[in-house]
Structure formats: C-alpha cells, structure tokens
C-alpha cells in the first residue's frame, strides 16, 4: 500500500473499487469520541462511522461481551437459534411504545429494508390479493443499495446506472400531505419513509405528514415502514425517531448503531404481517448470529438506561444553540437542519467536500448530506465540551 508523501496517514493506490475514491485516511484506533490515524494524529469524530458508533470507541464492556461469545459459540445459521438472539429479540419486543410480534435479523440497513418491502408485498398479496403491489417512497429518501431498497431511493445518482430497477415504485414529495393523498390508495402494498432524511439533506418529517401517513396507510391497508436505520436508538432524541413526530409505523427497520459497530440489522414485524409469512419465504445466513446479537443486547441495555435518551436530547439542544451562534457569526452557514444528535446546516460558501477536507485537516471528522449540507452525527455519549470544541473547529474551517 503506497502512502502519499504529503500526509503519511492517507493511503493511495487502494485495493478497493473506485466507488470509495482514490485515497482514504487510515484510522487505527479510537477512544470515546476521538479517533487516531496511523500517523498518530487525533480527530474529534462528528461522523460516528456514519451514525453507527452511538457509544463511541474503545468500549471494553462491548469487547468483553464479543470476546466471551466468540469463545463460547460463533455461528449456527438460522436452522437453529441461540440464547443471545432470543434474548435480544425479546428485549426489542418488550420495548414500547409500538407493539411488534417478531424480529427478523439481517446484516445491514439495506437488507432490513429489503426484507420489510418483501413483507409489505406478502401482506398485500394475502390480504388484498394479487396486483396491489405498489411501493411508495419519497423524494430525497435513502434506503440502501440493493435493488429493492435502491428502487425506493429516488435519486438519479444512485439509480441511473442500474436501470431497470424493481417496477411498481411510486415517488411522492416529502412532507406534502396533498400529494400523499393523491397517490396513496389500496394499490399500494407498502410505504417506506425516514422521519429525518439522513442522507438526503436532513429534512425532518412534520407532525402533519406523520399523521397523514399513519392514517393514509391504515385506510389503504398499506404497510407503513419507518426506516430508522439512521434515526433509531436515540439518535434524534427519542428512542425511535417515529415517536418524536407522532408516526405510527407498522414495521420499523433498525441497523447502524444496534450492535456497537458490528454488522446487524433488525426488522420489527407486527402481528398482522407475522401471521401471513410462510416458512422459507425469506432468510439470511449470517443475520442474528450469537456474537452480533450478544453485543447488541448490551448496547440496547445501555441506551435504555434511565436518563440516556434524555441526555441525548439535551446534548442535541446544546448543539443547536452552538450552531445558532455560529450561524449568527457566519454568512456561509445557511438553514440549520435536523435534530437530536443528527444535525447540520446548508453550507453556502462553496463545495461541502472542500469544507469537510479543511475540517479533517484541523482534526474534525464530519459528513455531507444531500447536495450541500454539512451533517453532524457524533457518538451519543459526546459531552458539551466536546460539542463546543467541534463547533469551534467548524468555525475555523469556515474562515
Ligand atoms: N436506510 C437509511 C436511512 C440509511 O441512512 C442507510 C445508510 O446510510 C441505509 C438505509 C442503508 O444501510 P446500509 O448501508 O447498512 O445498507
């Protein structure tokens, strides 16, 4: 692996496909909300592994669970089950405010959404009969890269090279109640939506739209899928982002943060769907293995501790105040977006990627969202002092 001379921690001549670019920073370790590259430089992490590392880095509690489980039992396939998988599913089902009957474990966000879309079609086929198979998604939504999820991710840059996609997908504008009413009828099997569009520009669902979706899906007997891959487990200041906007989903999909950085996703399935699924209709080899589910149970327990989510909400409000002050001082900070610890702003001073490189050079990692938004998704355990430090680095990068 060749190293660039100007930055000893940047790898070039990468042995990966070009989709990830031609040079990447090589990160070697992390602790708390800080990362370190192979040259020893430290970074305050406002990217969180793209909203994965809710509990931060260097967690000996999670490492211990993973190591113990790996020694005890690593994998059995879904021809059998294990104690950690049963325990995690039961923990998930016991949590309110929504009521679910079963959990399907997968390995990634896109796989969870793929399963959810298939369950919506099964439900429609077996309750409404053949033909009521439309899937409805929204502009600027992002649901993943496999064909079903990609077909519900209506951005040309993701979809165009891979046409033809799955047929029968309808697209409506986000947060537009009238447009929703025009398109949502009993031809629709499932509706997939984010309560905060993490990749597509940080728009937040309005309570009016949440109500219209919940009522509209009930009326059309369509399965309402809340894609909480990015927003689930406290990120937006409530355990499920859906709670924060009053959405009443039938299915919730979870992934990114649920297993402390290990690949695991979950589809929370209601009784009305669970009853209709036949043996063998869906599956996966690795999903819900004992190591990932053992770690996930520990993560679930920690995020469910009293005060955890409330602290995320407070930190989110603190971040918002810091960003408001920053906006007042800088013309290049446009509309403030998002909520909880998934926030950001429209950047009006040029290309976001240039700003992000300046921030990286100054020791702050952050993300892009949409075409020109800066997205901040730090570990949920971040302190106020670390938030202030991050915003200070953003300010330096702006000037
Ligand atoms: N859904 C949402 C809302 C996401 O933000 C993402 C990833 O960014 C996905 C689905 C896809 O998840 P994965 O990359 O794990 O397949």
User: Are 392 and 353 contained in the same domain?
Assistant: yes
Structure tokens at 182: 């025009």
Indicate whether 40 pLDDT > 90: yes
Is the beta carbon of 255 within 6 A of some atom in ligand 1?
yes
- pLDDT in the model for residue 241: 98
User: Are 201 and 326 contained in the same domain?
Assistant: no
User: Are 321 and 342 contained in the same domain?
Assistant: yes
Indicate whether 42 pLDDT > 90: yes
| Final residue of a structural domain among 241, 272, 303 | 303
Q: What is the pLDDT of residues 13-22, one digit of tens each?
A: 999 999 999 9
Domain count for the chain: 2
Q: With contact defined as beta carbons under 8 Å apart, do 66 and 294 qualify? A: yes
Ligand 1 mutation pick, 158, 198, 229, max ligand atoms within 8 A of CB: 229
**Cα–Cα distance measured from residue 247 to residue 262, given in angstroms and rounded to the nearest whole number:** 28
Neighbours of 167 (CB within 10 A): 9
Q: With contact defined as beta carbons under 8 Å apart, do 253 and 228 qualify? A: yes
Is the beta carbon of 143 within 6 A of some atom in ligand 1?
yes
Is the beta carbon of 198 within 6 A of some atom in ligand 1?
yes
User: Are 286 and 351 contained in the same domain?
Assistant: no
| Final residue of a structural domain among 303, 323, 357 | 303
User: Are 274 and 325 contained in the same domain?
Assistant: no
Indicate whether 137 pLDDT > 90: yes
Torsion angle in degrees (nearest 10) through CA of 101, 107, 109, 110:
-100
Neighbours of 333 (CB within 10 A): 22
Q: How far is the CA of 355 from the centre of ligand 1 (A)?
A: 24
Q: Give the mean model confidence (pLDDT) for residues 147-159.
A: 97
Indicate whether 59 pLDDT > 70: yes
Phi first, then psi, for residue 59 (nearest 5°) are -85, 105
User: CA separation (Å) from 280 to 78, 234, 338?
Assistant: 11, 33, 40
| Final residue of a structural domain among 303, 319, 341 | 303
Q: How far is the CA of 182 from the centre of ligand 1 (A)?
A: 28
Q: How far is the CA of 385 from the centre of ligand 1 (A)?
A: 30
User: Are 262 and 365 contained in the same domain?
Assistant: no
- pLDDT in the model for residue 7: 87
Structure tokens at 377: 């998704």
For ligand 1, atom 14, the nearest C-alpha belongs to: 109
Q: How confident is the model at residue 2 (pLDDT cuts 50, 70, 90)?
A: very low
The vertex-370 CA angle with 150 and 229, nearest 5°, equals 50
Q: Give the mean model confidence (pLDDT) for residues 237-245.
A: 98
Phi first, then psi, for residue 26 (nearest 5°) are -100, 115
By the 10 Å C-beta count (0-12 exposed, 13-18 middle, 19+ buried), 358 is classed as: middle
pLDDT above 90 covers a percentage of the chain that reads: 98
- pLDDT in the model for residue 259: 98
Q: Give the mean model confidence (pLDDT) for residues 128-154.
A: 98
Q: Give the mean model confidence (pLDDT) for residues 339-353.
A: 97
Q: How far is the CA of 203 from the centre of ligand 1 (A)?
A: 16
- pLDDT in the model for residue 1: 44
In terms of Cα–Cα distance, which of 394, 379, 384, 391 is closest to 31?
379
Q: Cβ contacts of residue 347 below 8 Å, gap of 6+?
A: 332, 333, 334, 355, 372, 373, 374
Is the beta carbon of 229 within 6 A of some atom in ligand 1?
yes
Which 8-state DSSP code applies to residue 240?
A: S
Q: Which ligand 1 atom is the nearest neighbour of the CA of 149?
A: 10
On whether residue 41 sits in a domain, the answer given is yes
Neighbours of 206 (CB within 10 A): 15
Q: Give the mean model confidence (pLDDT) for residues 245-258.
A: 98
Q: How far is the CA of 39 from the centre of ligand 1 (A)?
A: 30
Q: What is the pLDDT of residues 366-376, one digit of tens each?
A: 999 999 999 99
Is the beta carbon of 108 within 6 A of some atom in ligand 1?
yes
For ligand 1, atom 10, the nearest C-alpha belongs to: 143
Q: Which of 17-26, 137-146, 226-235, 339-348 has the lowest mean pLDDT?
A: 17-26
Q: How confident is the model at residue 100 (pLDDT cuts 50, 70, 90)?
A: very high
Evaluate if pTM is beyond 0.75.
yes
Q: Which ligand 1 atom is the nearest neighbour of the CA of 144?
A: 11
- pLDDT in the model for residue 6: 75
On whether residue 64 sits in a domain, the answer given is no
User: Are 344 and 290 contained in the same domain?
Assistant: no
Q: Which ligand 1 atom is the nearest neighbour of the CA of 231?
A: 3
Residues of the domain holding 138: 73-303
Is the beta carbon of 194 within 6 A of some atom in ligand 1?
yes
Q: Give the mean model confidence (pLDDT) for residues 189-214.
A: 98
Q: How confident is the model at residue 90 (pLDDT cuts 50, 70, 90)?
A: very high
**Cα–Cα distance measured from residue 248 to residue 50, given in angstroms and rounded to the nearest whole number:** 26
- pLDDT in the model for residue 300: 98
Q: How far is the CA of 254 from the centre of ligand 1 (A)?
A: 9
- pLDDT in the model for residue 5: 52
On whether residue 265 sits in a domain, the answer given is yes
Q: How confident is the model at residue 174 (pLDDT cuts 50, 70, 90)?
A: very high
Q: Average model confidence (pLDDT) for the chain?
A: 97
């Amino acid at each position: 692996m060749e190293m660039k001379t100007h930055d000893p921690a940047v790898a070039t001549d990468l042995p990966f496909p070009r989709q990830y670019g031609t040079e990447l920073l090589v990160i070697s370790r992390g602790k708390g909300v800080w990362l370190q590259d192979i040259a020893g430089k430290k970074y305050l992490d406002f990217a969180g592994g793209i909203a994965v590392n809710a509990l931060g880095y260097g967690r000996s509690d999670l490492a211990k669970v993973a190591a113990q489980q790996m020694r005890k039992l690593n994998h059995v396939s879904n021809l059998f089950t294990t104690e950690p998988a049963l325990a995690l599913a039961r923990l998930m089902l016991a949590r309110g405010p929504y009521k679910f009957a079963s959990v399907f474990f997968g390995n990634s966000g896109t796989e969870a959404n793929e399963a959810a879309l298939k369950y919506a079609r099964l439900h429609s086929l077996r309750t409404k009969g053949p033909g009521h198979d439309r899937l409805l998604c929204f502009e600027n939504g992002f649901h993943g890269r496999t064909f079903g999820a990609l077909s519900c991710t209506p951005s040309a840059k993701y979809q165009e090279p891979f046409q033809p996609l799955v047929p029968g997908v309808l697209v409506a504008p986000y947060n537009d109640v009238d447009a929703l009413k025009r398109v949502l009828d009993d031809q629709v099997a499932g509706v997939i939506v984010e309560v905060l569009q993490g990749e597509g520009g940080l728009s937040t669902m309005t309570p009016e739209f949440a109500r219209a979706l919940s009522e509209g899906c009930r009326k059309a007997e369509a399965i309402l899928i809340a894609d909480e891959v990015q927003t689930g487990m406290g990120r937006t200041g409530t355990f499920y982002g859906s709670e924060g906007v009053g959405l009443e989903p039938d299915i919730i999909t979870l992934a990114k943060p649920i297993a402390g950085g290990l690949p695991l996703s979950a589809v929370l399935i209601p009784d009305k769907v669970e009853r209709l699924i036949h043996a063998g209709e869906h599956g996966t080899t690795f999903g819900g293995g004992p190591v990932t589910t053992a770690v996930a149970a520990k993560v679930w327990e920690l995020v469910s501790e009293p005060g955890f989510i409330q602290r995320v909400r407070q930190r989110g409000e603190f971040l918002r105040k810091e960003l408001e002050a920053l906006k007042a001082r800088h013309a290049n900070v446009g509309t403030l977006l998002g909520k909880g610890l998934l926030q950001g702003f429209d950047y009006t001073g040029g290309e976001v990627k240039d700003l992000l490189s300046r921030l990286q050079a100054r020791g702050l990692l952050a993300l892009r969202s949409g075409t020109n938004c800066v997205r901040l998704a730090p570990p949920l355990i971040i302190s106020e002092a670390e938030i202030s430090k991050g915003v200070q680095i953003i300010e330096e990068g702006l000037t």
